[in-house]
Structure 1
Amino acid sequence: MLYVKIHQLSERKFKITQIAKELKISRPTVYKYLGMTYEEVKQLLEDPHRKARKLDPYRDWIIAWLEEYPHLSAAQIRDWLLERYPDMEVGESTVRSYVRELREIYQIEKKNIVRQYEAVPEQPMGKQLQVDWGETKQKTINKKEVKLYFIAFVLAHSRLKYMEWQNRPFTTRDAIRCHENAFQYYGGRTEEIVYDQDHLITVSENAGQLLLTTEFQSYVNERKFKIHLCRKADPESKGMIENVVKYIKGNFADSRVFSNIDDWNKRALQWLERTGNYHVHQTTKKRPAEVFLVEKQHLKPVSSLLSFESNHEQSITRNVGKDNTVRFKSNRYSVPLGTYNSATDNQVYIKIKTGKRQTLEIRKQLEGEIIAEHLISLEKGKLIQNRNHTRDRSKGIEEYKEHLISRFKDQEQGRTYLNEICLKYARYRRDQLAIIHRVIQEDPGWIDEALTKCLKEKLYSANDFRDMVQYFKNLKVAPVRNKMNDSKGPKHAKGMIVTTRSLDAYTSILGGAAQ
């Protein structure tokens, strides 16, 4: 076919360079085929005495792979050959030239995707470990498709890689377990670990101030490593792990057939030993496995036992859905309206309480108060809902709003604030009012300060109001409400204890006697 295409373009008066560019082959190849007849080409390919190539016995395999997966690289072809024939000895350049020749003969074009990265300074030994997550879709042995998830690690100096796979999304506990396995694989930990802003480990990052999830914060406190959190949309700051994730997807996982997760993880470790950590790194020009032998001496040792894990044995983490429910064993269990917050972490802790019937307890904090409690259903696909967690539909929107306004000291400010929220969130105004209602019920002592601050900062959102109340509550600011214009004297704020002295105490101080 290549011979025919070259002669067809030549008859159309294409120049040698144009033919080579059009067919993506070299100019010597064009010259060679233009100087031969069809019979000569056929005889050349069928000649039993022609010089045998080292990869000729695997020619059919390679052609089949290229035809089914045209994007495969020569490095990936070599890895697949070594996986099937572990005793094979073949150089990378040999595979590259052979694959290039087959692409020319059979006109199998490869599409290259180029991504730009900014160079970053080299890290000293034992200084930094970079971590990231990824996911792929794999064909199974039954010709179906399954989604797989993985976590990847890379030492910033030696570039030694490690990965683990799951057939379900990662939880914070999964991330901690994989960190421990990575430390055992490396034989120690680095001073610093670099992460993306992932919901598994962080709640928020505000101007450099990190707020980690409760479980991961306990883990960091135990292992005592520093955390460097990358800015959003800034892949260059963790370019090494970005490349590793891409490498794992494009070399190990691409077009590989999945059977079961244990076998997949076993093959992943074999790939790391055979290819991922053995090949010469293009930047360092050294094998990661060889450089790691020196870097390993600079890692900090880790113990094999985590003391804080005993605090979490009976608790399971779940994420609150947008419909303010938590999924557990194929059912949905309600939590109070407003628990879900798109701007913060929605992780909750669930605990199974045994008795005559098992009960599900749901908490926002591991040792915090119970926000919802349900009897565990033995059915599947059910919504188990507490009526107290739903909207109060007995009142109209305006009546509901007026009821909330009456709870504020400055009702004009309250009306202005709630009107702005209802205008901004017209479709969700009942949900917004329900959140404010719950805040007023739980923490009435701080609502006036929060209202004033929200109006000043133009924070027109029920979630902002809730967070502001929590802020004042954490600062332990007790509001004082005095009405100085009361002719009967000042009224003290609710909850304040005012001590008084007897008349004898004052006369004793002034040196007189009681009359």
Structure 2
Amino acid sequence: MTKCAREVMEILEAYDLTQCAHSAAQLAGCDEKTVARYVELRDTGRDPAERARRARSIDPFLGKVEELVEASQGRIRADVVHDKLTAMGFDGTDRTTRRAVAELKATYRAGHRRKYRPWIPEPGMWLQFDWGEGPRVGGRRTQLFCAWLSWSRFRVVVPAWDQQLPTLIACLDTTLRRIGRAPTYLLTDNPRTVTIDRIAGVPVRHPDIVSAGKHYGCVVHTCEPFDPESKGGAEHTVKIAKADLVPTEANLLEEYSSFAELVDACERWCEKVNARPHRAVGAAPAERLATELSRLHVLPEDPHLLALGEERLVGFDQTISWGNVRYSTPDGHQGTKVWCRVTGDELVIVARTGSGIAEIARHRLSTPGNPRIVAAHYPHHPDDGSVLRLPKPRPRTAAEIDFLALGEGAHRWLTEAAAGGVTRIRHKMARAVEFAHVLDAGRVDQALAVAAAAGRFGDRDLASILDHLAAAAQPGPVVVVDETHSTQPGTAGWGRVGA
């Protein structure tokens, strides 16, 4: 029976005191042969607590097991080894085989463990990024673009709807502009948006991501599979996001009502973690970023075209089509190309302007059959944009020119009279011009506006309105004549006769 460490120490202490195995056995309460065995183990430099290895039935086959483990580089299964040993005459249990295989695999791994030098990043050299699953917005899944500068540990988290290439480049542009400058290298995993193929183990870069790297002055690198430094470093960014962001009561929630709320939550989290000291470097990332900025290079003024989104052609009705929905643009971009991208639940439209590339419109996303038209984009159409617009008077004869020269009231009177089917319009227009020669043209134009608003187009209505305006210091509210209005007195007074 094996003694515990305390009992072994008592046995050795008793022997050192008496220098006699018999006496030490009496003091320790054990057999003197036990005392002699532990003393011998200690004197030969072996561990007294080490158990003596007993012979096993698999010992004659250990050489074969070691050969199989070595040939398979530690990958062969114990059940396969057991079948081979059984065919060679081994009559032990599979449990014995599993124990022997596990011991030899551990020995093989210890002798063939990979050795590498720890990666120590330099300031201004590396930016690592990867994707992580984000909270839901209105039941829809989101993605978190997680990036950090390897030296300063400055972190940036940008939410997005997907991981497509334009979204990736737009998130990179947002990250670099939030940092303020760009590093030399960009390091990430091997997604299809970055690595499109591998030939003889060499990654083939996506041409668009290479173009984006050249635009920002960065070289895009991908991590080496199974490499603890490059791949582990890239994935550590996502581990940070998952541990610190998604979802905890202290940080992000499981779901948000709008994408803007998620953006604000991510920005607040970044401000918090970048302001507190980082355990690995002993300083706040924001403080180290101030030092690292001098080693970063300047960003181009305009973002990469893929970051702007997809191209669209502006029609002559000042609209573009996105997802079978028409969205309006300001005047001056007809027939030119613009770029559209989805940011949260909004469509952002960007175009080249006199001062460079700039955002010209932003719309809430809509569905087919529900276009997004902003009235401010059509200052030359002050109405509601309907197809049935009021005709604009265009005078041709001298009489028409004289009448419409009176002012806006004359324009409105003519439009309303024509729409109402008024007869003898030319005669009434001539009478108005005659009144303007006698009276002030402004008063006549005002009377015409009142007549158009009240719907009074009779032969003597204009003269009556002119008399009323001359007598009244301030004209009262206009009463529009319609079928629901009557000047006939009511019969309520007759009800009081019999009272």
Normalising by the smaller structure, the TM-score range is 0.3 to 0.5
Give the structure with higher Rg (CA): 2
TM-score, reference length from structure 1? 0.35
TM-score, reference length from structure 2? 0.36
